[in-house]
Structure 1
């Protein structure tokens, strides 16, 4: 192996034999590629970027970070308001869709995942919530020692640079900056006042205590720009000589010697290349791609692997099972007058706003179109909120418009109902033994009747809120599903035809101590050595909130475990000297 200078960077030429020579530009300056690395991290997303950055803080550790997508350079990526547009860009989105969902009219439902440095943190909605503290206590109660809320809170604080400053619940020195969302609009005040009159709590910090009530979350935005893990964890350390980041490097299988993972094979520029890890391989591909790579490597349900023509290394039935998602349904209402957001995205106005944003980081491009959110209980007696509501002053397909040239979407108010703790469980399977084929995904949305009943109740809950003063003075008729849809059967028909997901997939490589667990509480894959999984797929139960901040926390805790810094990691997890 050798390194040679390329224009503006270093190009690394790896020779693994006559047929597999390739040249790839890596992020980083002034380093020479080593024959082996200490750690290989597969996936530079919400967790993987964190792990690689933290491991490379030890200068003696050589770290290779593999990312199947490209660099995070899309022109819209840093602009928060462009979130909806990013989801439609195939060059930065894997473009996955589920198999026909059997309980949702056999529809194939799009699932958005980032195909870029930073993963989904580079294309998501930037809502920064942790879930309920009792979610993590539940993980610990399920046998996952070290994952209670008290155990994970230090890692949440470590990752955060809160606009609120340091406190018992917030960090102020971490890489991920958070920003307060504007509340200076009539609709927010009407919503919260209507909620207060209906007996709901108004909450100005969902992370300070228990996340219940109406308010606004913090957003992962730094100086008006998206605070992805690529921007906040990788960009500042890109010149570390011991951190090597390979983009467009699609992992095809894990390499083993005996029972131990010793490296990763990946496809790049048409060549198959192998990289070796002296210490460990860490999978951070997310809830779809981490189980896919395990199965491609012979770790998973034996019968399914044999069907795919893959030799079984470890018969691990839980790989790809227990997939959990937050089901979501949108109700649409006609506002009494034009919404502020619709007015602001007229072409001439948004053009001026973008110019101001480029210069100052301020203005509407630095925000998202969210009026308010709520965590609430669908019935009395529940320990934790089981539903979320989002209120958006536009349609999900809103577009820039200008009179007489391009028609706008028109004034619409969207109220979304989201199940925080669904009972339905899905799966991830291989489509074939070709690593380039997308995995098969089935969320099994609405498989459990209780989930259908919760969404039905959510629609009725939204209706009652919209009729409450002073909100009723701003929100008019119901456009979807429509005021005439009143019976259970009518609402169920609407839900099955329109239900989607919140794009929060988890739990397909669940952490635990029983035979269905894929990883143990130290994130080690059962049945092999030198291999861990660290991303949202390890959640035994999905959290009652948005999943990006918990995924970053998992990355922080995983790095601490690997480096022997986690206070609950046992002696077997201490890094060898």
Structure 2
């Protein structure tokens, strides 16, 4: 397997003494960054390395030396771990009847346990669909599977089209990938491709090799080159790369030894550096609102962010399963001489803005929050990849089956560009719920699907109350726009992969499919229609790549929250830098793209600061 290591090298040092504790006198920094994930972590480190005193605030603790988080193979355990998990309970639609059919609906039994399913015990409290996030130094990059994938060029260029800022052109954004990675697998002198031991793909007697070659045939690839293609660099460069159907080798933000490389690593390295960079990290601190200067009281003036209000203590947010109702912490105010940067993530960044008076005026007034600036786009435009899987039980163990990764185009794709990211192997993945995934034994075989460029971004993140400890109301409104076409794309992808399963032969065949079509997969077998599969995906699709709730947009867009330099419209000294800034869902996996924009934001902010300093 190929790996890429972000250049955020882990520091082997105990850092507890470095973390700031609540101070009696006012704290003042040049920059305050709220949130240490892929957006905020690299950004705070870069600002400090440029010489600016920077405070990085994180609501969770530090698990950088905990093997559950440090070793990427334990990502399922990390995502389930109560030590860092924040549970958001979301909806997929406004239709209660449809919601009630989601097979992994979760309920609170009242005895400290969850029930997952459609037949809850009497008295159980409905929670919804689990969407776990990570409250920990390094954010969700500390509990994810570490997959590194790039958006299509169009996903970058849309920002150019909206704002006129050519620094967002896809060809320019590539340099930020180079800045965050330390490549460990490409051969010297070869800038585009990686190579690995894929000897299994050359063994014609293996069932998985026959599946591989059949997929190649069905997707327009050369079956004779399949063994060669499985080692192709998934982050390759090329003018037509977004239209290239091919097998690839997955890239991860991890070392070749499987050690997780994340913002945590870079933060720790920055703190431990002998250069003594001015970075301070405050853990177990929940930001309750952004503070603005008195200009908010002067009609016609532009408010400026001057700091944040913080509640200090562990497990203060109600998404934390360890939260004790009624628990609060001491409140303090911390000030920024230059800027406040919100990097709380797709759910928490819009929540913090709204609690601070930045958002849709009517929603803020509903909760008695004074309006600083009416920005109707805050919390809107929520989007995500649709995900699903073709899962079955083979006739023999599959634990030695080589992994197949491919990007391809279904026959009904709306453009020439690829619309499906898939990977097949001996694993089960069906979404998230407490205790996921289901263990089906050593004969399980799955092809997981990620739908690229979903046509609907109709979801929202809305306040539940004015209490910063409450979680917001989150509704993705799956398939609200263009849903029928998206569903058919998922079905056609499943049909292609199922057809390839029929070529498995002994010893894997026949494979007993569990979903979306129940029954044995074998030549001549057709068990369910496209319409039945569309209904399955409509009810059971899941997601974990949320984006776009504080979207960048043009001056003429009333729903734009940010300009192209991440600045919140209508105020000064306030930016947002995380996956919420993308106008559209960025490719198949947002972790690496978010780290890339984090470094871009640092470059923009530092350039602006130095330009301002020269004028003084």
> With structure 2 as the length reference, what TM-score do the two structures score?
0.76
User: Do the aligned residues in 1 keep the contact of 2:20 with 2:280 (CA within 8 Å)?
Assistant: no
The answer to whether structure 1 residue 63 and structure 2 residue 46 are counterparts is no
Tell me: CA distance 1:214–1:200, structure 2 relative to 1, closer, same or farther (3 Å): farther
From 511, 520, 542, the counterpart of 1:500: 542
1:373 maps to 405
Structure 1: runs of 5 or more not aligned: 1-5, 18-33, 172-178, 342-368, 399-406, 565-570
| CA shift for structure 1 position 486 | 1.5
User: Do the aligned residues in 2 keep the contact of 1:395 with 1:409 (CA within 8 Å)?
Assistant: no
From 576, 586, 592, the counterpart of 1:549: 592
2 CA distance for matches of 1:295 and 1:445? 24
Q: Secondary structure at the match of 2:140?
A: helix
2:234 maps to 206
2 CA distance for matches of 1:229 and 1:474? 40
1:263 maps to 307
Q: How does 1:367-406 map to 2 (within 5 A)?
A: 371-379=403-411, 382-396=415-429
2 CA distance for matches of 1:143 and 1:303? 27
The answer to whether structure 1 residue 114 and structure 2 residue 141 are counterparts is no
2 CA distance for matches of 1:471 and 1:517? 56
User: Do the aligned residues in 2 keep the contact of 1:523 with 1:532 (CA within 8 Å)?
Assistant: yes
Q: Secondary structure at the match of 1:273?
A: strand
After alignment, is 515-524 or 197-206 more displaced?
A: 197-206
Report Cα offsets for 1:234-269 as digits up to 9, x if no partner. 121113351000111111000100200010111103
Tell me: CA distance 1:158–1:36, structure 2 relative to 1, closer, same or farther (3 Å): same
1 CA distance for matches of 2:337 and 2:256? 40
Tell me: CA distance 1:544–1:275, structure 2 relative to 1, closer, same or farther (3 Å): same
Report Cα offsets for 1:63-96 as digits up to 9, x if no partner. 0000011112443112222111222112212111
Q: Secondary structure at the match of 1:281?
A: strand
After alignment, is 257-266 or 77-86 more displaced?
A: 77-86
2:45 maps to 53
| CA shift for structure 1 position 470 | 6.8
After alignment, is 318-327 or 373-382 more displaced?
A: 373-382
From 155, 161, 169, the counterpart of 2:182: 161
User: Do the aligned residues in 2 keep the contact of 1:318 with 1:517 (CA within 8 Å)?
Assistant: yes
Q: Secondary structure at the match of 1:414?
A: strand
1:105 maps to 99
1:346 maps to none
Q: Secondary structure at the match of 1:278?
A: strand
1:38 maps to 30
The answer to whether structure 1 residue 224 and structure 2 residue 257 are counterparts is yes
1:427 maps to 460
2 CA distance for matches of 1:12 and 1:556? 24
1:576 maps to 613
From 170, 178, 183, the counterpart of 1:149: 170
1 CA distance for matches of 2:346 and 2:410? 28
| CA shift for structure 1 position 53 | 0.8
User: Do the aligned residues in 2 keep the contact of 1:72 with 1:230 (CA within 8 Å)?
Assistant: no
| CA shift for structure 1 position 545 | 2.2
Tell me: CA distance 1:12–1:41, structure 2 relative to 1, closer, same or farther (3 Å): closer
User: Do the aligned residues in 2 keep the contact of 1:157 with 1:170 (CA within 8 Å)?
Assistant: no
2:551 maps to 510
2:111 maps to none
1:525 maps to 568
1:536 maps to 579
Q: How does 1:20-39 map to 2 (within 5 A)?
A: 35-39=27-31
| CA shift for structure 1 position 431 | 1.3
After alignment, is 45-54 or 212-221 more displaced?
A: 212-221
1 CA distance for matches of 2:181 and 2:15? 36
Structure 2: runs of 5 or more not aligned: 1-13, 103-127, 201-205, 222-228, 296-302, 314-328, 432-438, 520-525
1 CA distance for matches of 2:160 and 2:590? 18
2:17 maps to 9
2:156 maps to 136
Tell me: CA distance 1:376–1:13, structure 2 relative to 1, closer, same or farther (3 Å): closer
Q: Secondary structure at the match of 1:87?
A: helix
User: Do the aligned residues in 2 keep the contact of 1:333 with 1:475 (CA within 8 Å)?
Assistant: no
Q: Secondary structure at the match of 2:586?
A: coil
The answer to whether structure 1 residue 252 and structure 2 residue 288 are counterparts is yes
| CA shift for structure 1 position 220 | 1.2
| CA shift for structure 1 position 291 | 0.7
Report Cα offsets for 1:331-390 as digits up to 9, x if no partner. 21222310126xxxxxxxxxxxxxxxxxxxxxxxxxxx9812221112267231112222
| CA shift for structure 1 position 475 | 5.9
Tell me: CA distance 1:305–1:16, structure 2 relative to 1, closer, same or farther (3 Å): farther
Q: Secondary structure at the match of 1:431?
A: coil
Report Cα offsets for 1:179-230 as digits up to 9, x if no partner. 9876444566444322222244446012213153222211111252443433
| CA shift for structure 1 position 476 | 1.9
After alignment, is 297-306 or 66-75 more displaced?
A: 66-75
After alignment, is 312-321 or 380-389 more displaced?
A: 380-389
After alignment, is 387-396 or 534-543 more displaced?
A: 387-396
2:6 maps to none
User: Do the aligned residues in 1 keep the contact of 2:92 with 2:476 (CA within 8 Å)?
Assistant: no
After alignment, is 279-288 or 188-197 more displaced?
A: 188-197
After alignment, is 151-160 or 407-416 more displaced?
A: 407-416
After alignment, is 38-47 or 480-489 more displaced?
A: 480-489
1 CA distance for matches of 2:94 and 2:198? 41
The answer to whether structure 1 residue 337 and structure 2 residue 403 are counterparts is no
Q: Secondary structure at the match of 2:33?
A: strand
